[in-house]
Amino acid sequence: MIECGIVTGAAGFLGHIHSKSILDLYAGLVIVDINKKKLEILYKNLKINYPKKKILKFNLDITKEKKIIELEKKIRKKLFFVRVLINNAALDPKPNKNTKKSFNWDKELNVGLKASFLFIKHFSKQMIKKKDGCIINIASDLSIIAPTHTIYKNVFGNFKKPVTYSVIKHGLIGLTKYYAALYGEFNITCNAISPVGIYNNQDKLFLKRLSNLIPMKRLANKSDIKNIIDFLINKKQKFITGQNIAVDGGRTIV
């Protein structure tokens, strides 16, 4: 059996980082994304940087349960054991001056919340059999606090962080605690991480406003996220479960 981790929404900004965390510690990786082009680029890049590792890629809409069932079967047939599941995919409308419709309730909840549940439902079966597993749900500081809409004002027109984002991220914490309690006896941990905004070439005024709200006076670096994922997916980490780990420079304590 090839021990591996699976990352949903792997082709996005943070998916790359989670993929590297898994390949640094495990023999295999499964990357899943609806964006075929970006997935291909990530796959090629990872193959170059980790030539000895087994990597599977699947171009898939994760809101379709049938597809997830097929995916789980295909991965099992290849003799991969998915020990780590990272529910990372999201439809996160980035602040944009031209955003007209601010959210789509069903679409966003289906990707951010329902698909996370479906991946746990189908990929936990093998984990339960093996009495070994690690589930991580990628939430946000907005799983703890409400958005501060004023940081976007006049930078991104009238942009407001959509209500769906708060609902999804708070919901993920419920999902995390539920499965941590249910699967504890099977030696499966289930945690959430809640990053504050991560540096990604954002507008200067926006960065200044957000940094001012953070006790450590900066946003997160990609390495801050990689460090916590490295820690959580390490097999030595056996006893922290059901937690929502804020990776936020103190943003949610003030």
Interface residues with ligand NAD (CB under 6 A) are 9, 11-15, 33-35, 38, 60-63, 88-92, 111, 138, 140, 195, 197-198
Least Cβ distance, residue 157 to ligand NAD (angstroms): 20
Q: Residue 90 or residue 213: which is nearer to ligand NAD going by CB?
A: 90
Given CA atoms 8, 52, 45, 247 in this order, what sign does their dihedral have?
positive
Q: What is the DSSP string of 34-57?
A: S-HHHHHHHHHHHHHH-TTSEEEE
What DSSP element (H or E) covers 223?
Answer: helix 222-233
Least separation in angstroms between residue 189's CB and ligand NAD is 19
Shortest gap between Cβ of 112 and ligand NAD (angstroms)?
A: 7
Of 57 and 83, nearer to ligand NAD (C-beta) is: 57
**How many angstroms separate the CA atoms of 234 and 134, rounded?**
9
The conformation of residue 142, written as its DSSP 8-state character, comes to: G
Q: Which is nearer to ligand NAD, 130 or 218 (CB)?
A: 218
Nearer to ligand NAD, 111 or 120 (CB): 111
Neighbouring CB atoms inside 10 A of 49's CB total 11
Q: How many CA atoms lie within 13 A of 23 on its CB side?
A: 24
- 33: which strand partners? 59
Shortest spacing between CB 77 and ligand NAD, in angstroms: 21
Report in angstroms how near the CB of residue 98 gets to ligand NAD at its nearest: 17
Q: Are 174 and 226 in contact (CB under 8 A)?
A: no
In a 13 Å sphere around the CA of 85, the CA atoms on its Cβ side amount to: 28
Residue 118 vs 127, nearer CB to ligand NAD? 118
